[in-house]
Amino acid sequence: MKATERWDVFELTLTGPAAENPYRDVEFAADFRHGHRVVPVAGFYDGDGTYTVRFMPDRQGPWTYTTRSTEPELDGVDGEFVCVPPGPGNHGPVRVAGPRTFAYADGAPHHPFGTTCYHWTHYEDDKLEERTLRTLAQSPFNKVRMCLLPTRAMTPPRLPYPGIGERPPAPRELDTTRFDPEFFRRFERRVRDLRDLGIEADIILFHPYDAGHWGVDDMSREDDLALVRYAVARLASLRNVWWSIANEYDFNQAKTVDDWHHIGRQVQHADPYQHMRSIHNGTRMYEYERIFDFRAPWTTHQSIQHWDAALAPEWLDRVPKPVVIDEIGYEGILGRRWGNLTGQALLRQFWHGMAAGAYVGHGECYPEQDPDATAWVSRGGTLHGEVTPRIAFLRTLWEQSPDAVFTYFGDRRHRHREVTLPEAGGPWHLDLIDTWNMTLAPLPGPPRTGRVRIPLDHRPDMALRMRKA
């Protein structure tokens, strides 16, 4: 009997009809059973008469399955496999663990330290993609935001959709009733590569950046939902998947907020494993933002774009769901306000957000310094900025201090600061952190309670760690 790890992928492939349009005309699914429990899972057409269904078992022991289809040769196929314990590094999918926290399915805590590489899989550039993976493997980042659809300025060799007829993809000439399996194979292979590195793939399904060029930002509702069903059927069995319904949803003039709610509910309905789901707002940086109403039941957490992480307590008080500020601005030298932060400015936002109970995302825009003239935020490659090692230092502090409380003093050069220590949990050991120079020094003396004076010696970018004695 075939064995599959818990939270890994069991895959069944069958041969069926290839005529007409199998993407829309053929229904194919399977029911997976463990004892009295039944999990229905949608399959998908993978081209050349191949039909596949993928399943991520979440319980150990024997499983059986039976296929369902509108085509006789795909209907009623029975089989079985056994789910065995997970291997090293396999903690299962990420779940919300509390109003501010995440954890893997096995209970291990998860702290999302994300970065953005929107289209690193789209150019069929194996050399660049492998370099991106090597960079990520050596970085502190354990979540990557990545797009499924192209933007207007791109000319990739493949898109999720083929061209009409036998023609290659061309502007406004995509056949949105079909999909390009080869595009999805590359995309999902890279999602697997991220999984093997312990990195979550935050997959952005829709966005507003096409401006009518390819025709993917103003598709019909039927085409939108067909993409949702196909993407979920292909990718949801990978344990490291998150769903971002849209990037900067409010910049898309072709869809209403009700449309986004409808798509979000459809992702929730289609995903048997209930991966993380959210949607991301746009901003006019330093002017305004339209943060989504995350009270919507289909959202699992708050994916926010904002330039001031110190506002995180307001968002956490408003909606009791974890906050991930996926875009706060990028370190770099672009002529756009969102792409020319100094490393020090971005690190300060990380510390403001993390000390407030939120998580903050990274991005980098140094295109001139990359051998392939690409910016990390768009195509990956190599990181050149100053902030990455300091984010690694921050992540180490967070993961090594699960019960600690942090206070961040910001960019001011104080001689000292008065701090009232938490009443519950004390007395406290105190450590002074230089967040930029990456040093940590215990403050002398016995564990403290009450109000204490913290010497800062006019140094900016200092923080305090309070550990239970």
**pLDDT of amino acid 166:** 64
46 pLDDT exceeds 90? Answer: yes
Same-domain status, 433 and 388: no
Same-domain status, 9 and 151: no
Q: What is the pLDDT of residues 108-121, one digit of tens each?
A: 999 999 999 999 99
Gap between the Cα atoms of 454 and 327, Å rounded: 32
Same-domain status, 261 and 309: yes
Same-domain status, 229 and 258: yes
Q: Which two tokens stand for residue 426?
A: 């004390």
Q: What is the largest CA-CA distance in the chain?
A: 78
Same-domain status, 329 and 366: yes
CB 184 within 8 A of CB 140: no
3-class DSSP state of 267: helix
Q: Which of 191-205, 211-225, 255-269 shows the lowest mean pLDDT across its residues?
A: 211-225
Q: Dump strand ranges (E) for 260-360.
A: 277-278, 283-284, 288-289, 302-305, 323-327, 331-332, 359-360
| Domain stop point among 372, 400, 428 | 400
Q: Which of 55-69, 85-99, 163-177 shows the lowest mean pLDDT across its residues?
A: 163-177
Total structural domains in the chain? 3
Same-domain status, 304 and 157: yes
Residues facing 64 on adjacent strands = 33, 80
| Domain stop point among 365, 400, 435 | 400
Q: What is the domain-level CATH number for residue 77?
A: 2.60.40.10
Q: What is the mean pLDDT of the chain?
A: 95
| Domain stop point among 347, 371, 400 | 400
Q: What is the domain-level CATH number for residue 168?
A: 3.20.20.80
Mean pLDDT to the nearest integer, 414-424: 93
3-class DSSP state of 121: coil
Confidence of residue 335 (pLDDT cuts 50, 70, 90): confident
Gap between the Cα atoms of 338 and 329, Å rounded: 5
The boundaries of the domain holding residue 447 are 405-468
Alpha helices in 118-242 (DSSP H): 126-137, 181-196, 221-235
Q: Is residue 89 part of a domain?
A: no
Strand pairing category for 364-365 and 428-434: unpaired
Same-domain status, 34 and 117: no
List % helix, strand, coil for the chain (3-state, nearest 5): 25, 30, 45
Same-domain status, 80 and 146: no
Same-domain status, 349 and 284: yes
Q: Is residue 217 part of a domain?
A: yes
